[in-house]
């Protein structure tokens, strides 16, 4: 894969397209062997295209198909192939139709997006003005795609993968079985899984994304042993596995919906982090009846209590009554002792003061505390001990 653009090369934007393509192609049985990034320089890009066409069977070139002067990919492809550019009248009509549907006239500069290397095969883009194209050069089939993630992903799925499947064997396709852990380090997970017998054709991978570590089991496509092996891994890691095949808030939202339970939040240290997080997913969003952010120290002074644990539990009945929720989660202020958090349910209440063993930036620490709160709720809903054990946190009391 070749990613293009100064903004990608210099880190102004994160190249999520490359990560996505690597994952999808690996699972489909077409693992990438090389990824490079090239800026908006015609000769450099043309040289990289030519080089990759000599060493690979398939090359995906992402970006640089827009209407502006720094969009040079089509021209670079023509230079690499020693050909000229020709206008696709079909794509000109498609762009004009898109603009007509918007009630606008197409700018003349968009004609550049219909200029393709001679003999190139057009790849359709139903949602944007940048078509893609494919061409054979040296040993490789090259596929050129727009950089807009939504357009890129659609073109890969609908235009490129079907062509690759027709031209190449993909017997190495993999299924990916994943689950998410919280409270364990990668080394801790590795140690607990060290005695697991993983067949040679399987692969275990980890992806750390604060505050979770995603564990992935790659198996041969359709292999019936995979669910059993994944179950063994989950059993070895215990209740630090927070969800399987879906992220934690999706899992919690699904259970809340299934049981027709509703939730109220009052956040002080976490500062609305959990409220915003739950808003990202339909089930958890519907289950959340109230999310309050309390200013620093306001919670303690309002109730005139000295005990941080009492401070996070004494307010719960009022916010549950006010919202009509059966469940409540509360985070308190940051004390020297730690940060109090609490879960209140019809069956009882659980509160703890936790403190990090590591130094976190404020934003990351809020994320961790919000996750502890959500994990308490997850444990309650799954019938597990509500108070968990986390390698990087100390439970003060």
Strands 140-145, 132-137: pairing is antiparallel
Quote the mean pLDDT of the chain. Answer: 93
Based on the domain organization, do 258 and 232 belong to the same domain? no
Q: How far is CA 43 from CA 64, 134, 147, 350, in A?
A: 14, 20, 20, 64
| 212 and 249 Cβ atoms separated by less than 8 Å | no
> How big is the CA angle at 110 (ends 104 and 115), to the nearest 5 degrees?
145
pLDDT of residue 303: 45
- Last residue of some domain: 194, 213, 244? 244
Give tens-digit pLDDT for 301-355: 444 456 888 888 887 888 898 899 999 999 999 988 999 999 999 999 999 999 9
Residue 48 has pLDDT above 90, yes or no: yes
Based on the domain organization, do 228 and 201 belong to the same domain? yes
| 233 and 217 Cβ atoms separated by less than 8 Å | yes
Residue 294 has pLDDT above 90, yes or no: no
- Nearest to residue 303, comparing CAs of 340, 250, 355, 354? 340
For residue 244, the tally of other CB atoms under 10 A from its CB is: 14
Based on the domain organization, do 90 and 228 belong to the same domain? no
Based on the domain organization, do 386 and 273 belong to the same domain? yes
| 212 and 180 Cβ atoms separated by less than 8 Å | yes
Share of residues in the chain with pLDDT > 70 (%): 97
Based on the domain organization, do 337 and 217 belong to the same domain? no
Q: Where are the alpha helices (DSSP H) in 60-209?
A: 73-81, 89-101, 149-155, 161-167, 186-192
Residue 178 has pLDDT above 70, yes or no: yes
Based on the domain organization, do 270 and 238 belong to the same domain? no
pLDDT of residue 309: 86
9: CATH: 3.40.980.10
Rounded mean pLDDT of 149-170? 93
Based on the domain organization, do 12 and 152 belong to the same domain? yes
Strands 174-182, 393-395: pairing is unpaired
- Choice among 176-180, 207-211, 275-279, 313-317 with the minimum mean pLDDT: 313-317
pLDDT of residue 377: 98
Which residue has 């509360």 as its token pair? Answer: 330
| 247 and 201 Cβ atoms separated by less than 8 Å | no
pLDDT band of residue 222 (cuts 50, 70, 90) is confident
Residue 141 phi/psi, 5-degree rounding, is -95, 125
E-assigned strand segments in 118-240: 121-123, 132-137, 140-145, 174-182, 203-209, 212-220
- Last residue of some domain: 244, 268, 288? 244
Rounded mean pLDDT of 193-213? 91
What is the pTM for the complete model shown? Answer: 0.77
Q: What span, in angstroms and rounded, lies between the C-alpha atoms of 250 and 286?
A: 12
pLDDT of residue 149: 96
Q: How far is CA 298 from CA 112, 181, 359, in A?
A: 59, 34, 25
263: CATH: 3.90.950.20
Looking at the structure of the chain, the number of domains it has is 3
Structure tokens at 261: 């339970």
Q: What Rg, from alpha-carbon coordinates, does the chain have?
A: 26
Based on the domain organization, do 163 and 263 belong to the same domain? no
Residue 237 has pLDDT above 90, yes or no: yes
pLDDT of residue 300: 46
190: CATH: 3.30.70.2860
Give tens-digit pLDDT for 65-110: 999 999 999 999 999 999 999 999 999 999 999 999 999 999 999 9
pLDDT of residue 293: 93
Based on the domain organization, do 160 and 52 belong to the same domain? yes
Share of residues in the chain with pLDDT > 90 (%): 85
Based on the domain organization, do 132 and 179 belong to the same domain? no
Give every strand in the sheet of 339-345, ordered side by side.
Answer: 288-293, 263-267, 327-331, 339-345, 348-356, 393-395
Q: What span, in angstroms and rounded, lies between the C-alpha atoms of 62 and 37?
A: 9
Based on the domain organization, do 265 and 157 belong to the same domain? no
pLDDT of residue 296: 61
pLDDT of residue 145: 98
pLDDT band of residue 297 (cuts 50, 70, 90) is low
pLDDT of residue 367: 96
279: domain range? 248-395
Based on the domain organization, do 192 and 273 belong to the same domain? no
Rounded mean pLDDT of 12-40? 93
Rounded mean pLDDT of 132-160? 97
pLDDT band of residue 171 (cuts 50, 70, 90) is low
What burial class does residue 223 get, using C-beta atoms within 10 Å of its C-beta: 0-12 exposed, 13-18 middle, 19+ buried?
middle
- Last residue of some domain: 227, 244, 261? 244
Residue 133 phi/psi, 5-degree rounding, is -155, 160
Rounded mean pLDDT of 372-393? 96
Structure tokens at 56: 């690979």
| 395 and 387 Cβ atoms separated by less than 8 Å | yes
């Amino acid at each position: 894969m070749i990613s293009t653009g100064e903004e990608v090369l210099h880190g102004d934007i994160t190249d999520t397209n490359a990560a996505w393509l690597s994952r999808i192609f690996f699972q489909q049985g077409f693992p990438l062997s090389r990824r490079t990034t090239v800026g908006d320089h015609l000769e450099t890009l043309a040289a990289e295209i030519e080089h990759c066409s000599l060493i690979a069977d398939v090359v995906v070139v992402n970006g640089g198909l827009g209407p502006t002067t720094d969009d040079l990919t089509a021209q670079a492809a023509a230079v690499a192939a020693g050909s000229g550019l020709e206008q696709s009248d079909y794509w000109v009509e498609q762009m004009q139709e898109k603009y007509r549907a918007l009630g606008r006239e197409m700018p003349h500069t968009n004609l550049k997006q219909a200029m393709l290397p001679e003999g190139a095969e057009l790849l359709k883009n139903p949602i944007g003005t940048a078509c893609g194209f494919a061409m054979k050069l040296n040993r490789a089939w090259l596929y050129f795609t727009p950089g807009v993630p939504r357009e890129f992903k659609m073109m890969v799925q609908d235009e490129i993968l079907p062509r690759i499947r027709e031209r190449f064997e993909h017997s190495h396709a993999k299924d990916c079985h994943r689950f998410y852990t919280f409270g364990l380090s990668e080394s801790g997970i590795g140690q607990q899984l060290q005695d697991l017998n993983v067949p040679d054709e399987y692969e275990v991978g980890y992806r750390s994304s604060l505050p979770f570590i995603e564990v992935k089991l790659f198996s041969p496509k359709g292999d019936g042993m995979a669910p059993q092996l994944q179950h063994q891994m989950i059993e070895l890691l215990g209740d630090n596995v927070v969800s399987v095949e879906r992220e934690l808030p999706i899992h919690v939202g699904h259970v809340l919906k299934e049981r027709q339970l509703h939730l109220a939040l009052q956040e002080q240290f976490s500062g609305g982090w959990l409220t915003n997080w739950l808003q990202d997913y339909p089930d958890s969003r519907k289950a959340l009846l109230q999310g309050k952010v309390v200013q620093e120290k306001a919670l303690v002074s309002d109730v005139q209590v000295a005990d941080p644990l009492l401070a996070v539990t004494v307010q719960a009945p009022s916010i549950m009554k006010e919202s009509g929720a059966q469940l409540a989660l509360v985070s308190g202020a940051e004390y020297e002792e730690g940060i109090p958090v609490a879960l209140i349910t019809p069956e009882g209440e659980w509160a703890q003061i936790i403190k990090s063993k590591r130094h976190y930036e404020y934003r990351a620490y809020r994320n961790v505390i919000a996750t502890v709160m959500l994990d308490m709720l997850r444990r309650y809903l799954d019938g597990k001990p509500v108070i968990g054990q986390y390698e990087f946190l100390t439970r003060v009391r």
